[in-house]
Amino acid sequence: MYSLLRYGDRLPSVVAVQILLNRKMRQGAYLVVDGIYGAKTREAVHGFQLEKGYLIADGVVGQSTWRALSEGENLQVIDSVDLTQSKDMGYEDAAIRGAGGVPVVNFGMCNGVQEAMRQIQAQAGAGNVVLLRFHGHGSPGSMGVAVGTGSEISSEFGVTFLDSLARFVAPLAGIFAPFGSAELHGCRVGAGRDGQRLVSALASAWGVPVTAGVRRQLGGGLTTFRFEGPTFTGFPWGGDLKGWARSLPVPEVHGMSVSR
């Protein structure tokens, strides 16, 4: 599995790419780790692709480039897909499987959110998840996870029950890599004050950045692996993308610390 990233992206998942590039680039070469896919990151991706020889050298992190970057790293990308509300989500399920992933697929059940959390924990290795993505329907401050019976918390991540939600999702905190993050790929989940509150609450519960789109999101094909339009990211202790990136442990690269 992979995240589709390119020039102009400003995301926590770009931090993961920059760290992996620093681990694999030739001696003496390094990137500032800041989460911004700028010209230098694009050049580094292009150089990595050329060095490998079998990758398309386009400066874009797609499926093959991600696989090469993460080779030997014991990292996981996990996708959770809500198939209970619309057949449209089936396109995302198919795209994930076509890229070699095995998504957590959520159908109707007594407690949808809790069961989805259990399945994700069962699939994840402790400290290995570099990206956790949720695919489903959304609205500002609400992300569909799996239709359940009873209260709303059995079906979605929602801003109206943040205290209860934090207890439900907190067990996932242990699955993430130090530079891991989560993404909510429902329509307009991160929009407005409610969207920002939900995303920030999940970030605090999991201890990693959480990103959601603020506009309508498309599904299926390559759109499954990236956001449509602008996003909002919440961070565990507030702050911003650069601040979070700087707070991460600095990896060693060929015996030399990465310069920021």
* Model pLDDT, residue 99: 63
Q: Indicate whether 114 and 199 sit together in one domain.
A: yes
Domain, as residue range, for 19: 12-70+245-257
**Cα–Cα distance measured from residue 99 to residue 64, given in angstroms and rounded to the nearest whole number:** 10
Has residue 4 been placed in a domain? no
Nearest-5° Cα angle at 115, 111 to 118: 150
Examine the domain organization and report whether 124 and 149 are in the same domain: yes
- pLDDT string in tens for the chain (260-residue length): 678 999 999 999 999 999 999 998 776 568 999 999 999 999 999 999 999 999 999 999 999 999 999 999 999 999 888 876 555 556 666 666 666 665 666 665 556 788 888 889 998 988 999 999 998 889 999 998 876 665 556 678 999 888 888 888 999 999 999 999 999 999 999 999 999 999 999 999 999 999 999 999 887 777 777 999 999 999 998 889 999 999 998 655 443 333 33
Q: Is residue 2 part of a domain?
A: no
Looking at residue 254, its pLDDT comes to: 42
User: Looking at the structure, do residues 168 and 199 belong to the same domain, yes or no?
Assistant: yes
Q: Residue 131: its pLDDT value, please?
A: 95
Residues 169 and 82 placed together within one structural domain of the fold: yes
Structural tokens at position 148 = 């359940």
Residues 66 and 83 in one domain: no
Give the H/E segment covering residue 142: strand 142-144
215 and 165 in one domain?
Answer: yes
Q: Which amino acid is at 84?
A: T
CB 229 within 8 A of CB 214: yes
Report d(CA 114, CA 108) in Å as an integer: 12
Residues in the chain: 260
pLDDT at 260: 35
Domain CATH code at residue 27: 1.10.101
> Does the residue 5 lie in any domain?
no
Question: Both 251 and 132 in a single domain?
Answer: no
Q: How is the chain classified by DSSP, letter by letter?
A: ----B-TT-BSHHHHHHHHHHHHHSPTT-----SSB--HHHHHHHHHHHHHHSSS--SS-B-HHHHHHHHTTS--EEEEEEE-SS-TTHHHHHHHHHHTT---EEE-S-TTHHHHHHHHHHHHPPTTTEEEEEEES-EETTEEE----SSSGGGTEEEGGGHHHHHHHHGGGGGGEEEEEEEEE-STTTT-HHHHHHHHHHHHHHHTS-EEEESS----SGGGGGS-SS-EEEE-BTB--HHHHHHHSPPPEETTEEPP-
CB neighbour list of residue 71: distance below 8 Å, 6 or more residues apart: none
In a domain, 232, yes or no: yes
Helix, strand, coil content of the chain in percent (nearest 5): 40, 20, 40
Q: Same structural domain for residues 16 and 98?
A: no
Together in a domain, 66 and 80: no
In a domain? residue 7: no
Whether residue 230 sits in one domain with residue 108? yes
Contacts of 255 (CB under 8 A, 6+ apart): none
Q: What's the pLDDT at 225? A: 79
The number of domains in the chain is 2
Residues 81 and 65 in one domain: no
Per the domain annotation, does 231 fall within a domain? yes
100 and 141, same domain (yes or no): yes
In a domain, 1, yes or no: no
> Is 37 among the domain residues?
yes
